[in-house]
């Protein structure tokens, strides 16, 4: 087995560990390293073979979150011909990443890291542009602030993810529910 394959396997396992750690820490931000290791199904010694310290774990988690969310967003293209499908597709893809999105915007350790903070801003840029375009097309309301729209989207994605995890919302109908809420709100139209 070549060396490159070895590091690739390690990387895969590290990513799986990071994903599990994110979920664990979102559920209980004060989870100990022991709890994290147990939650990931590995020993505490092995955990420290992957990450040097708790602080470094947090940094890793931040970058991992950015990486995954960025990749997911890049997969969803804003097609001029079918711009109506952009948000629904994006939401469908983002819901499983609800914990990472939440982690990005709420964890204290992550938010005090300059690099991550900057990458987070870079991450929002294309989303802001997409919303702007949807507004110009007259598809989205133009009297709403773009940044506010993004904040609401993030917030609702996390909420939906959480409701799915807790079993209050069916996984298959979650995206539709969220799109519907995000688009129309709850007021009955009086037309």
Partner DNA sequence: CTCACTTGATAGTATAACATATCGAAATTA
Partner DNA sequence: TAATTTCGATATGTTATACTATCAAGTGAG
The residue ranges that bind DNA (CB under 7 A) are 1, 6, 10, 13, 32-34, 41-46, 48-49, 52-55, 57
CA–CA separation, 164 and 114 (whole Å)? 32
Q: How far apart are the first and last CA of the chain?
A: 68
Closest approach, Cβ 54 to a second copy, in A, equals 11
53 touches, from a second copy, DNA, none (C-beta below 5 to 8 Å by class): DNA
Closest CA to 43 of 31, 55, 34, 53: 34
Closest approach, Cβ 64 to a second copy, in A, equals 20
Q: Residue 7 or residue 32: which is nearer to a second copy going by CB?
A: 32
Phi-psi region of 79 (alpha: psi -120 to 50; beta: other; left: phi over 0): beta
Handedness of CA 170, 97, 37, 55 (dihedral sign): negative
- Residue numbers at the binding site for a second copy (CB under 8 A): 27-30, 108, 138-142, 144, 147-149, 151-152, 155-156, 158-159, 163, 168-169, 177, 180-189, 191
CA–CA separation, 66 and 101 (whole Å)? 8
85 touches, from DNA, a second copy, none (C-beta below 5 to 8 Å by class): none
Q: Residue 37 or residue 169: which is nearer to a second copy going by CB?
A: 169
136 touches, from a second copy, DNA, none (C-beta below 5 to 8 Å by class): none
CA–CA separation, 118 and 81 (whole Å)? 32
Q: Residue 24 or residue 47: which is nearer to a second copy going by CB?
A: 24
């Amino acid at each position: 087995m070549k060396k490159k394959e070895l590091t690739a396997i390690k990387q895969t396992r590290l990513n799986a560990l990071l994903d599990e750690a994110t979920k664990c820490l979102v559920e209980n931000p004060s989870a100990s390293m022991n709890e994290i290791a147990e939650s990931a199904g590995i020993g505490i010694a092995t955990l420290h073979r992957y990450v040097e310290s708790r602080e470094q774990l947090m940094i890793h988690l931040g970058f991992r979150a950015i990486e995954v969310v960025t990749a997911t967003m890049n997969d969803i293209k804003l097609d001029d011909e079918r711009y109506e499908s952009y948000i629904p597709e994006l939401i469908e893809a983002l819901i499983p990443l609800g914990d990472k999105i939440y982690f990005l915007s709420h964890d204290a350790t992550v938010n005090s890291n300059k690099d991550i903070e900057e990458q987070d801003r870079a991450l929002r840029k294309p989303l802001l542009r997409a919303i702007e375009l949807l507004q110009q097309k007259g598809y989205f309301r133009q009297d709403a602030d773009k940044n506010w729209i993004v904040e609401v989207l993030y917030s609702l994605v996390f909420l939906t993810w959480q409701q799915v995890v807790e079993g209050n919302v069916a996984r298959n109908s979650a995206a539709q529910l969220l799109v519907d809420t995000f688009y129309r709100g709850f007021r009955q139209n009086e037309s």
